[in-house]
Amino acid sequence: MSSALAPMSASAPLTDSQALILKTLPDFPISGQRCATRIQQQIDLLLLAIEALELGASEQMLETVEQLDLQHLIKNRLDLWRLRSTNPWRRAYNRTPLTLEQAKTLVVLASYRAKQLTVSIRQLLLAEQQMREKNLPVANNFLLSEYLDQFRSHFGSRMNARRAKVSVYLASEETLDDFALSLLKQLLFITGTTGMQRFWVSLFDGEVA
């Protein structure tokens, strides 16, 4: 009970700190203050890669939301799922676009989780490099195969196979593995000093005038 009450009583001064985190991400002149579906898709896919990296990732994400005092934007698991379902590839596609604030929250969340996972992301990418140098299939490495298996099962169970792009990935294991590795590389760049800002800015690449 006390843990549930503590944030409630301290919510007034905390709203400033959470606003500060979101304020580190600039706003861009886009039409209608709502996100393009491409942005929503990109954020959700990176969160999916994070889920494939660690067990119990969704609990960790909710914990991170609590640590960052962003509970007013993501109250519970259902909220998180609803925001992530704005990815048009999802089976349960939620057609209400994300507001900029919601998108920023997910970007902050992804960056913080990715930072925590820096070591394993680096390990996996080094393993990938070694396998490629030896001309061996990447899935032969046990660390990589674990990540790729997880990613494949998450992707297969949540994405809508009737979407053309999704069906292309689901048709070939190799294509999906390459896709999973490309997401892993993007996660690596998010872990850096200005990774979060760069990730946010990169989402608007090709969207602004």
Partner 1 sequence: MNNIRRQYSLPNCTLILEGLTDSSNSFDVRPPLSILVHTQCTFLGINQSLEGGRTLLENLAKAVNVYAQECLSGVHRPLEKSTEESDRIELEALPGRSLHRLTWYPPTELHQAPVAIELSTVQLFDLVEAVDQFIADSQTLPDFSVKLQPTSRRYRQPDEPLTQRAVPATVGIISLAIAAFAIYFLPIPTVRKPSNVAPVASPTQTLPPTNKTQPSGATPPSQKP
Q: What are the phi and psi torsion angles at 124 (to 5°)?
A: -65, -40
Residue 166 binding partner 1, by CB under 8 A: no
Number of neighbouring beta carbons within 10 Å of residue 84: 23
* DSSP annotation string for 164-183: HHHHHHHH-HHHHHHHHHHH
Number of neighbouring beta carbons within 10 Å of residue 124: 25
* CB of 47 vs partner 1, minimal distance in Å: 15
Number of neighbouring beta carbons within 10 Å of residue 178: 14
With CB under 8 A as the contact rule, which of the stretches 59-67, 98-106, 151-159, 185-193 interacts with partner 1? Answer: 185-193
Residue 85 binding partner 1, by CB under 8 A: no
Q: Give which of 190, 166, 175 is closest to 41, Cα–Cα.
A: 166
Residues 12-41 that bind partner 1 (CB under 8 A): 28
Residue 185 binding partner 1, by CB under 8 A: yes
How many residues lie near partner 1 (CB under 8 A)? 28
What are the residues facing 159 on neighbouring strands?
A: 90
Residue 129 binding partner 1, by CB under 8 A: yes
Given the complex with partner 1, which of 10 and 126 has the nearer CB atom? 126
Number of neighbouring beta carbons within 10 Å of residue 1: 5
Burial (CB count within 10 angstroms: exposed 0-12, middle 13-18, buried 19+), residue 198: middle
Binding partner 1 by CB under 8 A: which of 21, 82, 97, 204? 204
Given the complex with partner 1, which of 75 and 185 has the nearer CB atom? 185
Alpha-carbon gap, residue 196 to 209, rounded angstroms:
22
Q: Residue 193 belongs to what H/E stretch?
A: none
Residue 5 binding partner 1, by CB under 8 A: no
Binding partner 1 by CB under 8 A: which of 54, 146, 149, 207? 207
Given the complex with partner 1, which of 26 and 156 has the nearer CB atom? 26
* CB of 33 vs partner 1, minimal distance in Å: 16
Residue 77 binding partner 1, by CB under 8 A: no
The footprint of partner 1 (CB under 8 A) covers 28, 122, 125-126, 128-129, 132, 181, 185-186, 188-190, 192-194, 197-199, 201-209
